[in-house]
């Protein structure tokens, strides 16, 4: 059940509450990505301390390893990974995009060659829903066709038609007790296709709706347009999810455009490269200028890494390949993303989101290097 608690007077930002059998999710919310059943470098205790209310799992990857027999024997994904709070599972539709070189699209799904050993696999609406039912996720995503940026108008049209047809097939499948289904809207940066797809998917009556086909290599202005073309046709009384997004600055802007839920691998992915997110932008902790800098990653940050370690020490750990270094940057980056959402919710509640948005945009300097990593098909695969 989703409750719309408040809307912002200066934008389309919303404050909401999504209730699931395993817990309440305050929106707008950022969801850490656990592709293989684990958020990289972080354990469940740390995720809890960061205020994590929901994480993601990936249908395609988990179905290959460890496989459904193991997860079913364990009692479902929650018990297998020892995570008691809600989980959202991607359907595997993104692999239609990311594994383009080793797959073949058919009428009722996609034929894959496993990225591990070349084994022939098939994933369609029926299979995707069956896997998610076995996983026992709290939110299951329908199986969709995510076309790449730069595809032809004909290819975009075909992807939308498949997405609509597959969503209808997904809607007919049984679900796990208490499991929600979210529909996905495709259409690239084409306003008419977005409207058509949104109206068709909403007409099927899902529990929430996702804006797909973003974070697939398009420039930021096209990504924003895709959201803007879709949002007006999504119900106000149900959650809206922008898949695979984004940087902190993008999250603020997407919230202003009426989106409630987000996921992205950036916090832990760039941490493994020695990059830290701060409220003013990104900083390379590996940089020589940090060699004797005994300040924390960010002054005033309350995360465990900033309370206990200096930039100089973390730089040393990263340069000698000690695991603690990348773990602490993962803690800090995840905290920064979570805290950004806390601040967004606080300002929407207080009626000051407009001022927060303007100040954030004025002081946050985006990194082109980080934006480039976002364009490499990072959604749902960390």
Query: Considering 8, 90, 138, 144, which one is annotated as catalytic?
Result: 90
User: Which parts of 133-255 are beta strand (E)?
Assistant: 139-141, 180-185, 208-211, 240-242
Regarding beta strands 275-278 and 261-263, do their DSSP bridges make them parallel or antiparallel, or are they unpaired?
Answer: unpaired
Q: Judge whether 90 counts as a catalytic residue.
A: yes
SS3 assignment, position 355: helix
Q: How far apart are CA 337 and CA 341, in angstroms?
A: 7
Can you read off the two tokens belonging to residue 242?
């922008």
Backbone angles phi, psi at 301, to 5 degrees: -75, 135
Cα separation, 80 vs 54, whole angstroms: 16
Structure tokens at 256: 């202003």
67-to-103, 284, 372 alpha-carbon distances in Å = 20, 38, 32
Active-site residue, selected from the candidate residues 145, 260, 263, 382: 263
Which two tokens mark 181? 């289904």
Dist. CA 85–CA 49, nearest whole Å: 13
Q: Which residues contact 364 (CB under 8 A, 6 or more apart)?
A: 248, 249, 279, 280, 281
Q: What is the strand order of the sheet 87-90 is part of?
A: 29-31, 261-263, 240-242, 208-211, 180-185, 139-141, 87-90, 55-58
Distance (Å, whole) CA 355 – CA 357: 5
Residues across the chain: 382
**Nearest CA to 86 among 295, 241, 278?**
241
Instruction: Kindly list the catalytic residues.
Output: 90, 263
């Amino acid at each position: 059940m989703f409750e719309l608690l408040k809307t912002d007077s200066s934008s389309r930002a919303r404050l909401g509450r999504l209730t699931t059998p395993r817990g309440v999710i305050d929106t707008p919310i950022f969801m850490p990505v656990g592709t293989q059943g684990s958020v990289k470098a972080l354990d469940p205790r740390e995720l809890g301390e960061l205020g994590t209310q929901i994480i993601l799992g990936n249908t395609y990857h988990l179905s290959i390893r460890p496989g459904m027999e193991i997860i079913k024997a364990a009692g479902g994904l929650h018990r297998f990974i020892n995570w008691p709070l809600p989980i959202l599972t991607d359907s595997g539709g993104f692999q239609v995009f990311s594994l383009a070189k080793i797959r073949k699209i058919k009428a009722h799904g996609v034929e894959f060659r496993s990225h591990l050993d070349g084994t022939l696999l098939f994933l369609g609406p029926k299979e995707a829903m069956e896997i998610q039912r076995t996983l026992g996720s709290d939110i299951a995503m329908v199986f969709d066709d995510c076309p790449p940026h730069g595809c032809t108008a004909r290819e975009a049209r075909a992807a939308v038609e498949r997405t609509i047809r597959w969503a209808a097939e997904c809607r007919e499948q049984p679900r796990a007790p208490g499991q929600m289904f979210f529909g996905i809207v495709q259409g690239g940066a084409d306003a008419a296709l977005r409207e058509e797809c949104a109206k068709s998917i909403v007409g099927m009556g899902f529990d929430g709706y996702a804006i797909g086909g973003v974070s697939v290599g398009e420039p930021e202005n096209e990504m924003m347009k895709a959201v803007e073309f879709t949002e007006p046709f999504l119900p106000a009384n149900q959650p809206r999810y922008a898949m695979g997004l984004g940087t902190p600055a993008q999250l603020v802007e997407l919230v202003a455009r009426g989106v409630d839920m987000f996921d992205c691998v950036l916090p832990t992915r760039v941490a493994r490269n020695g990059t830290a997110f701060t409220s003013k932008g990104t900083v390379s902790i590996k940089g020589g200028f940090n060699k004797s800098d005994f300040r924390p990653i960010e002054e005033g940050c309350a995360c465990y890494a900033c309370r206990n370690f200096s930039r100089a020490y973390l730089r040393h750990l990263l340069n000698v390949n000690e695991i603690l270094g990348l773990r602490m940057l993962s803690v800090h980056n995840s905290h920064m993303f979570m805290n950004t959402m806390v601040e967004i919710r606080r300002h929407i509640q207080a009626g000051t989101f407009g001022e927060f948005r303007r100040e954030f945009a004025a002081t946050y300097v985006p990194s082109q290097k980080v934006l480039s990593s976002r364009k490499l098909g990072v959604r749902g695969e960390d």
